[in-house]
Structure 1
Amino acid sequence: MALINLSFAQLTQKIDSIIQTGFKDPNAPGGAFLVSRKGNIIYEKAFGKANLELNVDMTTDNVFQIGSMTKQFTAVSILILEQQGKLKVNDPVSKYIPDYPSGNTITIHHLLTHTSGIKDFTKMKALSEIAQKEMSPKMMVDFFKNEPVDFQPGEKFDYNNSGYVLLGYLIELVSGEKYEDFVKKNIFEKAGMNHSFYASDRKIIKNRAYGYHEKSDGFVNKTVISFSVPFASGSLMSTVEDMLKWQKAINGNLILDAAHTRKVFTKYKLNSGEEFSYGYGWHLKDIKGVPDREHGGSVFGFKSMAVYIPEKDIYVVGFSNCDCHSPTQIIKDMAGLVVKNPQ
């Protein structure tokens, strides 16, 4: 990997130009982006509008729905419960939900690693019938649990939202608390994430960015979905600075001890012995040949992406308030640039 030696101003300019490949219109929905090295913010900027109707500019304080980046918080919540001695990741689902189909062969580990084989509810035709209903976690689990499995547990990796909804339900059963309250008390409050929430369309959330779709004739407000449907697979909200606090809390073993943190970031193996690139709630891949931890998110009106490079202690996160603008490649390109620049 060839290193480049850019000045701070040059690096900022290059990052600006990477972001503007997807976020160039100041009057369109936009995004917020942050880069940190060794825990210090070296880049933080917002682009576009947080609210088109009110003509409000985006700021780096805006609160976004983070979609599937929620899975990190769900996975860590499960390990908090393991750390407390309340469950084990190798427990079968049937230990907590006795009537769950094949629950004696599907383990919590299978759910965490997307290797359970259970049907992903986002691929079910009947989803449109419940998308705007208020669903309890049990109702959500009942919605998909009797669907035929796609494969036997541990046979393959296949990204799966149902598994994380089921994990959220297990968190509630085992802790005796609502998922929302458990995450707030055990993660948000401990990490000082004061601008992170379980999503709501009813609550007043200061600095909320509004979500948009793009149609052929322009932007429209996002389709409304009940947050009780994605639940523990995709219903949290946060800011770029709160996500940096989350990353620091993980690094500093503030939430989990070192042994449980290692479990999160281990590459696991299928029944065949083949290794796959997912731990518990994070993809474990690489940027420019350097190992990373990454995850994105997509939910009506929003897209999100973050990359962390342990070897260099570099964290790059970006949020978009239009599902027409994905920050995924932009974040990877930003991370690749910062990795190559040793400043």
Structure 2
Amino acid sequence: MNVAYKEFKSFVFKPMYARSLFFVCVLLNSVVACAQSFETKVDDLILTAFSNKSGPGAVFMVAQNGKTVYQKAVGKANLELDVNLTSENVFQLGSMTKQFTAISILILEEQGKLKVTDLVSKYIPDYPSGDKITIHHLLTHTSGIRDFTKMKSLASIAQKDMTPKMMVDFFKNEPSDFPPGEKFDYNNSGYVILGYIIELVSGETYEQFVKNYIFEKAGMAHSYYASDRNVINKRAYGYHKKESGYVNKTIISFTVPFSSGSLMSTVGDMLKWQNALNQNILLNAKETQKAFSKYKLNNGEEFTYGYGWHVKQINGIATREHGGSVFGFKTMGVYIPAKDIYVIGLSNCDCNSPTQITGEIAALALEMLKNK
């Protein structure tokens, strides 16, 4: 073994240095070929799915050990102005918002202001079956509460400014779908209630709480509670696709999805979010782990959802995943703890879901790291 190789090997395996996907390729004596292979393969995946460069598109990012190793923007941020998307564009996150809501609840638990075992009735005394539904049930989508997005009357409030209490009152008297803890059934209503509880317990609005305890602490300077009225620098505009072509997204009041789907961010800020979780900047390790644990139904059956994340696998390796969908936007993020790999895709047309491609990119990153 020559001296140069010894020095390089020593550098690579020192834990203080971030080791990207490409370091692995160097060890395989094919750094150029391997780097090109990864980038080219990811490019091919993205450009095949988002082939219309004159339409709305998406931004993708791959990070390892907290550092960006790949990013790509394709398509337009604004069709009317013919502005290209970049990695700095701000997208609506849709249900990826639930991650922030869940962590906000755990922050309040760490502060000693609530417990996930608390009953809903402790905070909303008149909530039907509130003496049987816990905060844990809301976090894990096991409450049995009717999902307001499935209610036919939703159109009647979609463009109204609603307070959190008004939103809870909108669906609280709907019949339950099942007893609490009996099954997992993805539910937006539960996360609206969680946002309301955050406000009741903290004395701050949900928007203020997330900004103060998450965005600012994590350094997420380009993340917001969504608004169609505020001027948001580098906003990506959302679109639908019709037979006649693309149209601007349907306007809704973001007070309706509220804490279940009303945040905005960039791929760079979402990496800061992931890093803040890993580094226990927002919560201690024990409390944070509650978000990524698997839980059981009343019958003892385990299901694959923690608090705000699906807990799944890619090729037998554990992942933490969540996507989002809101008028004009679709999003997906996958984190692989064992390899500290984070992959995220944000699209500004609800006609183009990044879910499958994000998963394929994550699998490809794992393949590149198989000899690590």
Aligned counterpart, 1:304: 331
- What are the equivalent positions in structure 2 for 1:269-284 lying under 5 Å apart? 269-284=296-311
| Offset of residue 60 of structure 1 | 0.3
| Offset of residue 25 of structure 1 | 1.2
Task: Give secondary structure in 1 for the equivalent of 2:338.
Answer: coil
1:58 aligns with 2:61: no
1:19 aligns with 2:46: yes
Aligned counterpart, 1:252: 279
The more displaced of 17-26 and 148-157 is 17-26
Which of 185, 201, 224 matches 1:158?
185
Aligned counterpart, 2:211: 184
Aligned counterpart, 1:262: 289
1:143 aligns with 2:155: no
Deviations 1:236-267 (A, max 9, x none): 00000000000000000000101101111110
Which of 91, 94, 99 matches 2:118?
91
Which of 344, 347, 350 matches 1:317?
344
Aligned counterpart, 2:365: 338
Deviations 1:36-76 (A, max 9, x none): 01111110110000000000000000000000000000000
Deviations 1:217-245 (A, max 9, x none): 11000001100000000000000000000
| Offset of residue 288 of structure 1 | 1.6
Which of 195, 203, 218 matches 2:230?
203
| Offset of residue 7 of structure 1 | 1.4
| Offset of residue 9 of structure 1 | 1.7
Which of 134, 150, 168 matches 1:107?
134
- What are the equivalent positions in structure 2 for 1:3-14 lying under 5 Å apart? 7-14=34-41
Aligned counterpart, 2:265: 238
The TM-score normalised by the length of structure 2 is: 0.91
Q: Which has the higher helix share?
A: 2
Task: Give secondary structure in 2 for the equivalent of 1:87.
Answer: coil
Give 1:200's aligned amino acid. Answer: S
Aligned counterpart, 2:158: 131
Q: Which runs of 5+ in 1 are unaligned?
A: none
Give 1:138's aligned amino acid. Answer: K
Task: Give secondary structure in 1 for the equivalent of 2:296.
Answer: coil
Question: Higher relative contact order by CA 8 Å / sep ≥ 6: 1 or 2?
Answer: 1
Deviations 1:286-342 (A, max 9, x none): 112111000000000000000000000000001000000000000000000000102
The more displaced of 13-22 and 248-257 is 13-22
Task: Give secondary structure in 2 for the equivalent of 1:20.
Answer: helix
1:28 aligns with 2:55: yes
CA distance in 2, matches of 1:213, 1:288: 34
Give 2:137's aligned amino acid. Answer: H
CA distance in 2, matches of 1:259, 1:11: 35
Runs (4+) off by over 2 Å = 3-6
The TM-score normalised by the length of structure 1 is: 0.98
Task: Give secondary structure in 2 for the equivalent of 1:316.
Answer: strand
Q: Which runs of 5+ in 2 are unaligned?
A: 1-23
Give 1:154's aligned amino acid. Answer: G
Task: Give secondary structure in 1 for the equivalent of 2:38.
Answer: helix
| Offset of residue 21 of structure 1 | 2.3
CA distance in 1, matches of 2:233, 2:35: 32
1:46 aligns with 2:73: yes
CA distance in 1, matches of 2:76, 2:316: 35
